[in-house]
Amino acid sequence: MKVGFIGLGNMGGPMARNLATAGHEVSGFDVAAPDVEGVTPALSAAEAARDADVVITMLPNGSILRSVADQVIPAMKPGAVLCDCSTVDVDSARAVAEQAGAAGLGALDAPVSGGVGGAAAGTLTFMVGGTAEAFAKVKPLFDIMGQKAVHCGDSGAGQAAKICNNMILGVTMIATCEAFALADKLGLDRQKMFDVVSTSSGYSWSMNAYCPAPGVGPVSPADNGYRPGFAAELMLKDLRLSQQAADSADADTPMGELATRLYTEFVEREDGKGRDFSAMLPRLAARGRPAGTA
């Protein structure tokens, strides 16, 4: 296929490279103009999109997605598919899909899970919203960039799945870090704590696959000074999106709301920015119980 790729940063660059390596003709554009092996650089987003069968975007937020959509949709050929792999608000995803549909294009919202490592290795998971026809057209590209693509439903369903998943992740990571901090103060060895919880009812991805305690469990960012695999500020972005969606849908998400407040404090008023989201453990381990807590 001929693919236009807009957004060639830490995630988009490796994804575009994998498509080019697999033999697809990839034209790419990024405002920072990075050089990606196998990708033909374009002078604008519209140029990258022209004559493409599929245009893939990987962008920071919904407002930028809407702006890029305004540029690329008029340049795309009828029947092509605009596939956004960014993590953005559901309303922006649906608005762009409606705009693309009115122009005779297919549209997918397809946020990813797997991080920079998954992008480089081609092992991402795609959560996809849009029509079955558009999904079928892009599925061969998903199979190159990732290990799994789930068609979650109509436009916006992919973003909904990503937001709900990452709200769970943020909440469970905080709970995991709290448990380690409590175990420390109760004199329980962290390795013993892991050995029990990882095979008991406290089992979770945050504990078993991404343990926030250095030297415990599989290798994780905690073993590398909490250099980010998934940065705390990105977790905060996703949690804020979850609360924006909860407001829009009139959904009660008290744990998601609390996790958002905690990561806001960590990132914006403490030392969390630029650290992995699991660095919530040393933060909690250094703190005592707030005065007046029952």
pTM recorded for the entire structure: 0.90
Q: How far is it, in rounded angstroms, from Cα 176 to Cα 226?
A: 15
Sign for the CA dihedral angle at 76, 79, 85, 90 comes to: positive
| Alpha-carbon dihedral 129, 82, 17, 43, rounded to 10 degrees | -150
Give the per-residue pLDDT at 117.
86
The CA distances from residue 230 to 51, 194, 215, 236, 293, in Å, are 35, 21, 19, 11, 32
Q: How far is it, in rounded angstroms, from Cα 257 to Cα 274?
A: 22
Percentage of the residues of the chain whose pLDDT score is greater than 70: 99
Tokens linked to 81: 């598919």
Q: What is the pLDDT of residues 68-109, one digit of tens each?
A: 999 999 999 999 999 999 999 999 999 999 999 999 999 999
Q: What is the pLDDT of residues 189-218, one digit of tens each?
A: 999 999 999 999 999 999 999 999 999 999
Which of 234, 178, 182 is CA-nearest to residue 206? 178
Query: Could you state, in order of their start, the residue ranges of all structural domains in the chain?
Result: 2-153, 160-286
Q: How far is it, in rounded angstroms, from Cα 198 to Cα 209?
A: 9
Beta strand residue intervals within 120-246, DSSP E: 124-130, 146-153
Average pLDDT of the residues in 1-27: 97
- Residue 152: strand, helix, or coil: strand
Percentage of the residues of the chain whose pLDDT score is greater than 90: 95
The CATH class for the domain spanning 160-286 reads: mainly alpha
| pLDDT band, very low/low/confident/very high, at 291 (cuts 50, 70, 90) | confident
Which of 20, 258, 201 is CA-nearest to residue 266? 258
List of residues 6+ apart from 188 with CB closer than 8 A: none
Give the per-residue pLDDT at 234.
93
Q: Nearest 5 degrees, angle CA 134-CA 19-CA 21?
A: 155
Average pLDDT of the residues in 228-241: 94
> Are β-strands 106-109 and 81-84 bridged in parallel, bridged antiparallel, or unpaired?
parallel
Q: How far is it, in rounded angstroms, from Cα 165 to Cα 106?
A: 25
Residues with catalytic roles:
162
Which of 227, 255, 224 is CA-nearest to residue 239? 255
Give the per-residue pLDDT at 115.
85
Is a pLDDT exceeding 70 seen at residue 174? yes
Is a pLDDT exceeding 80 seen at residue 180? yes
Residues belonging to the chain? 294
Is a pLDDT exceeding 80 seen at residue 236? yes
The CATH class for the domain spanning 2-153 reads: alpha beta
Is a pLDDT exceeding 80 seen at residue 294? no
Which of 256, 283, 259 is CA-nearest to residue 177? 283
Which of 137, 26, 125, 52 is CA-nearest to residue 85? 125
Average pLDDT of the residues in 11-18: 97
Is a pLDDT exceeding 90 seen at residue 233? yes
Give the per-residue pLDDT at 22.
98
